[in-house]
Amino acid sequence: MSKTKKAGRAMGSVLLAILSIIYASPIFIILMNSFKKKTYINLEPFVFPTAKTWAGLENYQTGFDKYNFLSGVSTSVIITIGSVVAILLFCSMFAWYITRVHTRFTKFMYLLCVFSMVVPFQMVMFTLSKTADTLKLNTPFTIPIVYLGFGAGLAVFMFCGFIKGVPIEVEEAAMIDGCSPPRTFFSVVLPIMQPTYISVGILQTMWIWNDFLLPYLVLDQKRYRTIPMIIQMMKGSYGRVDMGAIMACLILAVIPVIVFYLFSQKYIIEGVAAGAVKG
Amino acid sequence: MEKAIKRYFPLFIIPTLAAFLIGFIIPFIMGVWLSFCEFTTVQDATFVGFKNYLLAFADETFVHALGFTALFAVVSLVLINVLAFMLAMALTKKLAGTNIFRTIFFMPNLIGGIVLGYIWQLIFNGILSQFDLALNLNAKFGFWGTVILVCWQQIGYMMIIYIAGLQTIPTDVMEAANIDGASGRQRLFRVTLPMMMPSITICTFLSITNGFKLFDQNLSLTGGEPAHATEMLALNIFNTFYSRVGFEGVGQAKAVLFFLLVVGIGLLQLRLTRSKEVQQ
């Protein structure tokens, strides 16, 4: 490699490094402010905490005590795990059936799933929350049914895309050997689909964990609040806004996501790329 | 084999179908019907024809939100895709540190819209307060603030899709162009871009529909202030439903129009870019 080319590449790396620092800085600004006393946050948000403005963990304490942040975490975890498991299991079964059985019904179901992917949530927002209310689906343990229904479109579509590429001979061989259809699905098809389960699981987790409006409208707000709901209500509710507690809760909301991302980065990035190619 | 599977219809189909009915099909059909009705709860609906639609268009905030959202969607579409494409090009040149850069650029995408909105609200207000200004005083600040926020969030996502696309371009095509003496610019516009059209189709589709559907970020960053000037369509519909009693029917009519708009734009965009895709 020539000298000028080498220098050019080094310059490129340096430029990207500067850009990365700028890119990551908003998170650090919030982190910095989460350790300041609340009255100083709006006054000088870009200054490091000094001895005078330092608040220690006080803001985090307020977040836990006054705003019940931990109960938000458990609500969000229950909803996300329940919904993602339900979506992965039932949508893959549904997708296998409608891909392998050719009737007018299965064709219609497939088209309906594709159609539901483009419908914005606002279209069904009001009627969905009323339906969920009537059926008493307003707890973290029952809201996965709503997520399964509204999220089925994308999941079924992605599973169908994968199943179409699986050679049918393997399944036929299993059935000739005496496997019932459920057994064929669970011990032959399901293991082959592992990469698709990961992709769909990641896309759905990203959506459900961060979703604000659906749980806001469906959940019984007096008893259950997800993390985004807690943050929105800290700011939106009347009375004095505690900037310190907000900073602390923003950090508490972001940290688990970043840790999870750093550990499963490879799958997340592959999942996004796979979802996009099929979408 | 089909026959054997068919016997297990209840096991494979019923759970998803039941949830799909509750979570999508019934609300959708009811939504279309209610857009022609006057109601406050679902039970007391009376048919009023197209009245709600006329009222929706007579609502200045809705018409304003329509224009504001369209402008926002186009500006963010262009910025996100141009910047994401440039980053993807830079990150496929095997520079030192590529993996770390990719990790950092993608990260904001995993943070939820509500959290993002409040992060940026602090930053923008921190900058603006130096000049005795604030985000909720001027619609221009709100507009560009939201554009910056959405760029920060989505560039990484589109970048990943573009990187995946760039990696599928066969090296022999590029080599052939090199041997034929194509300049860097010719290689970009005559080889890379045409070969990348499938990725461009997906990314522009995602960013324009995301732009039109934006809600969480709009709610948390500006909340539509000042005086509905930065209110986008989704938030306008939400406010029609939940902060104006008696306007539920109008809200539903707006939602139907919004749905038709999103579908129409999505289809139009797919046709425009699909027609430019080339066979490999």
Confidence of residue A35 (pLDDT cuts 50, 70, 90): confident
Angle (CA) A162-A166-A170 rounded to 5° is 150
Query: pLDDT at position A238, please?
Result: 54
Q: What's the whole-number average pLDDT of chain A?
A: 87
Q: Which of these, A106, A89, A264, lies nearest to A186 by C-alpha position? A: A89
Binned at pLDDT 50, 70 and 90, residue B173 comes out as: confident
Nearest to B113 among A17, A135, A210 (CB): A210
Interface-testing mutation among B7, B12, B220, B236, with chain A (most A C-beta atoms within 10 A) = B12
Nearest-5° Cα angle at B262, B256 to B266: 145
pLDDT band at B125 (very low <50, low <70, confident <90, very high): confident
What residues of chain A lie within 8 A of the CB of B122, using their CB? 29-30, 33, 41, 45, 243, 247
- To test the contact with chain B by mutation, choose from A18, A48, A105, A126 the residue with the greatest count of B C-beta atoms within 10 A, namely A126
ipTM: 0.85
Which residues, including other chains, have CB under 8 Å from residue A142's CB and lie 6 or more apart? Answer: A136
Q: Count CB neighbours of B179 within 10 A.
A: 8
Query: How far is the C-alpha of B261 from the C-alpha of B280, rounded, in Å?
Result: 33
Instruction: Record the pTM.
Output: 0.87
Q: What percent of chain A has pLDDT over 70?
A: 96
Within a domain: B183: yes
Contacts of B219 in chain A (CB under 8 A): 212, 232
Please indicate, yes or no, if residue B81 is contained in any of the structural domains.
yes
The C-alpha atoms of residue B14 and residue A242 are separated, in whole angstroms, by 48
Band (pLDDT 50/70/90 cuts) for residue A97 is very high
Is position B29 within any domain?
no
* B278 pLDDT more than 70: no
Given this model, what pLDDT does residue A279 score? 44
Percent of chain A surpassing pLDDT 90: 34
Is residue B38 a part of any domain in this protein? no
Kindly state whether B31 is in contact with chain A, defined as any CB-CB distance less than 8 angstroms. yes
| pLDDT, tens digit (0-9, with 9 covering 90-100), for A168-203 | 888 889 988 988 999 999 999 999 998 889 889 988
A127 and B120 within 8 Å at the Cβ level: the answer is: no
How far is A228 from chain B, CA to nearest CA, in Å? Answer: 6
Q: Which residue has the higher pLDDT, A238 or B82?
A: B82
Q: Which of A16, A172, A272 is facing B157, going by the closest CB pair?
A: A272
Q: Which residue bears the tokens 């016997």?
A: B7
d(CA B143, CA B229): 9
Query: Is residue B181 situated within a structural domain?
Result: yes
Disruptive mutation site among B1, B2, B13, B24 for chain A (greatest number of A CBs within 10 Å)? B24
Task: Note the pLDDT tens digit of each residue in B238-271.
Answer: 988 888 777 888 888 999 999 999 999 888 888 8
CA distances for B139 relative to B92, B116, B145, B208, angstroms = 38, 19, 10, 21
Share of residues in chain B with pLDDT > 70 (%): 99
A276 and B161 in contact by Cβ < 8 A? yes
Q: What is the CATH number of the domain that holds B63?
A: 1.10.3720.10
Q: How far apart are CA A135 and CA B19, in angstroms?
A: 12
CA A197 to CA A201: how far, in whole Å?
A: 6
Is the predicted pLDDT of residue A275 greater than 80, yes or no? no
Cβ–Cβ contact A165 with B under 8 A: no
Alpha-carbon gap, residue B179 to A161, rounded angstroms = 39
- How many separate domains does chain B show? 1
Average pLDDT over residues A142-167: 90
Mean pLDDT of B105-122: 90
Q: How far apart are CA B136 and CA B220, in angstroms?
A: 12
Smallest CA–CA distance from A228 into chain B, residue:
B114
pLDDT at A3: 73
Of B6, B23, B114, the CB nearest to A149: B23
> What does the pLDDT read at residue B8?
87
Q: How many secondary structure helices (H) and strands (E) does chain B include?
A: 15, 2
Residues of B with Cβ-Cβ distance to A228 under 8 angstroms: 112-115, 216
Is residue B280's pLDDT more than 70?
no
Nearest CB partner across the interface for A33, out of B26, B42, B122: B122
Arithmetic mean of pLDDT over chain B: 87
For the stretch A54-68, pLDDT in tens is 877 888 888 888 888
Put simply, whether A73 touches B (Cβ < 8 Å) is no
Tell me, yes or no, whether B226 lies in a domain.
yes
* Residue A42 pLDDT greater than 90, yes or no: no
Is there a domain that residue B40 lies in?
no
Judged by a CB distance cut-off of 8 A, whether residue A124 touches chain B is yes
Quick check: B2 and A102 CB within 8 A?
yes
Distance, in angstroms, between B52 CA and closest chain A CA?
A: 15
Structural domain contains residue B43: no
Hey, which residues does B37 pair with through a beta bridge? B47
Do the chains contact at B101 and A258, CB–CB below 8 Å?
no
Of B104, B129, B266, the CB nearest to A20: B104
CA of B193 to nearest chain A CA: how many angstroms apart?
A: 17
Shortest CB distance from A30 goes to which of B23, B26, B119? Answer: B119
The boundaries of the domain holding residue B141 are 59-274
Instruction: Say yes or no: B16 contacts chain A, CB-CB below 8 A.
Output: yes
A255 interface with B at CB cutoff 8 Å:
no
B16 pLDDT tier (thresholds 50, 70, 90): very high
Q: Which residue out of A122, A129, A158, A183 would a mutagenesis test of the B interface target, given it has the greatest number of B Cβ atoms within 10 Å?
A: A122
CA distance B51 to A247: 46
